[in-house]
Amino acid sequence: MTPSDLKATLSFNDGSPSIELPVYKGTVGPDVIDIRKLYAQMGRFTYDPGFMSTASCKSAITYIDGDKGELLYRGYPIEELATQCDFPEISYLLLKGELPNPEQKQRFKNLVTHHTMVHEQERTFFQGFPRDSHPMAILTGCVGALSAFYHDTLDIHDPRQREISAIRIIAKLPTLVAMTYRYHIGQPFMYPRNTLSYSANFMHMMFANPCEEYVINEVLARALDRILILHADHEQNASTSTVRLAGSSGANPFACIASGIACLWGPAHGGANEAALKMLEDIGAPERIPEFIKQVKNKRSDVKLMGFGHRVYKNYDPRARLMRATCHEVLQELGLHNDPLFKLAMALEKVALEDEYFISRKLYPNVDFYSGIVLRALRIPSTMFTCIFAMARSVGWIAQWDEMTSDPDQKIGRPRQLFVGQTPRMVKPIGQR
Ligand code: CMC
């Protein structure tokens, strides 16, 4: 954060003195006005519900330029990372700031691989959940429960302990997600297999069974890896901000990641690919698209075109372009290019991209418009989609948590409010109310 010569002056039309505020420059992106002393000096807060114009922290991890449709992890464009690296390399990059060399990659991979099992006692938690629980409900509980097992690494002020916690989260999330699925469908848990890659091991834990050999399809494992890379981090989105806010009180990393998972579950965030797929199933056939679009445009209907629109990307979501390519690759591999749902998605995408309503509001497909179709082709049921997103995003969450926790300027998050309720009044005795 570099202070600049630029200062912002805030003046009022009620005769109170104006105030000069420092302005900081990031390495790229908009300048920020430092309002930290505003209340102390002026007795006024700023008002910004939804943080439309507020930088809640400084960060060196992910940069998004929504107008350009640009996403960088540690300075590298997502297009290059998604086509040249695998998910463990991306995890290393997000956590440590640089891509690993071959030796560093091998060491990191070994470390993650040797932390993939969960404590046997953790398995018993699953039995408490009804089999038809939403998988995100199970995952939120079981990830939060990890804090009960790792007292040895809960000192958040020790960088070494923070690093071990990060490795545990990256390593154990796939195991817990797969266990959630196996429990849901009533099949035995499969232990991790150390000879497989991160994504292939996840597919093994999801789909293998103890009775026969499971053969990994490399095209599908690579598609899953790409989904993980594209969802690994996304700057200060709702769930990441939730993780940071939870962590700002000094809460342990497992509890913070569980809070991120809970936030991610919402349909406007991580639930979007499940919702997009459901939307396609509800539309059912291309001839019903015009009627559906009419409902979307009707402000009283509450119907949204799921998988379209983004708070930050106002021209194109760069992840969507990469996911669209993966979508074609996977459907080709599986001989599903004539899949009716995919054809319907393509028809809907075309109609929306040519419609003035969506053009004028800068609404374009986001990554989740396509990721649902890919996940469905991988035989992952739609109720599990947000769990896969959580597994990917957990690396971003833990990197952001670590960055925040190691920042000496870090303070507990405590937003203020514009109070619009009752002014002070007296309680009347019950008979007089
Ligand atoms: N379908 C129809 N209209 C929409 C949509 C949509 N998907 N998204 C926004 N609009 C309209 C909205 O009604 C508003 O219209 P008007 O100006 O007439 O009032 C205008 O576009 C601006 O929308 P907004 O709600 O101010 O935009 P926002 O930045 O607050 O919302 C969003 C962003 C992602 C919540 C929203 O676009 C949305 O709900 N999209 C569908 C859900 C979705 O696909 N979410 C996944 C996001 S990508 C995954 C992730 O990063 O978490």
Q: Does residue 149 carry a pLDDT above 90? A: yes
Q: Does residue 395 carry a pLDDT above 80? A: yes
Question: What local confidence, expressed as pLDDT, does residue 404 receive?
Answer: 97
Q: Does residue 69 carry a pLDDT above 80? A: yes
Catalytic residue, candidates 184, 204, 269, 310: 310
Written as six digits, the tokens of 427 are 């309680």
CA gap 11, 32 in Å, rounded: 18
Confirm or reject: Cβ of 294 under 6 Å from ligand 1.
Answer: no
The verdict on whether 310 is a catalytic residue reads: yes
Tens of pLDDT, residues 295-331? 999 989 989 999 999 988 988 899 999 999 999 999 9
All domains of the chain, ordered by start, with CATH?
2-55 (2.20.28.60), 89-415 (1.10.580.10)
pTM, two decimal places: 0.92
Sheet holding 19-25, edge to edge: 2-10, 19-25, 32-33
Average pLDDT over all residues of the chain: 94
How many C-alpha atoms does 372 have within 13 Å on its Cβ side?
25
Q: Does residue 337 carry a pLDDT above 90? A: no
Residue 369 CA to ligand 1 center (angstroms) comes to 13
Question: What local confidence, expressed as pLDDT, does residue 257 receive?
Answer: 98
The answer to whether residues 326 and 226 touch, using CB atoms and an 8 Å cutoff, is: yes
Least confident of 195-204, 284-293, 306-315: 306-315
What contacts 89, CB < 8 A, 6 or more positions away? Answer: 99, 100, 105
How big is the chain by its Cα radius of gyration, in Å? 24
Written as six digits, the tokens of 309 are 């629109």
Confirm or reject: Cβ of 248 under 6 Å from ligand 1.
Answer: no
Tens of pLDDT, residues 2-19? 667 899 999 999 998 999
Residue 397 CA to ligand 1 center (angstroms) comes to 23
Q: Whose CA is nearest to atom 36 of ligand 1?
A: 309
The verdict on whether 157 is a catalytic residue reads: no
What contacts 296, CB < 8 A, 6 or more positions away? Answer: 303, 304, 305, 357
Site to probe by mutation for ligand 1, drawn from 53, 273, 304, 305 as the one with most ligand atoms within 8 Å of Cβ, is 304
What contacts 325, CB < 8 A, 6 or more positions away? Answer: none
Three-state DSSP class for residue 385: helix
Three-state DSSP class for residue 7: strand
Tens of pLDDT, residues 343-375? 999 899 999 999 999 999 999 999 988 898 899
Q: Which class for 416: exposed (0-12), middle (13-18), buried (19 or more C-beta within 10 A)?
A: exposed
Confidence of residue 292 (pLDDT cuts 50, 70, 90): very high
Residue with tokens 């960055």: 403
Tens of pLDDT, residues 412-428? 999 999 999 999 999 99
Regarding predicted confidence, which is higher, 403 or 152?
A: 403
Q: What is the mean pLDDT of residues 93-101?
A: 98
- The percent of residues above 90 in pLDDT, for the chain, comes to 87
CA gap 225, 248 in Å, rounded: 31
Residue 292 CA to ligand 1 center (angstroms) comes to 16
Residue 70 CA to ligand 1 center (angstroms) comes to 19
Question: What local confidence, expressed as pLDDT, does residue 339 receive?
Answer: 87
CA gap 308, 282 in Å, rounded: 16
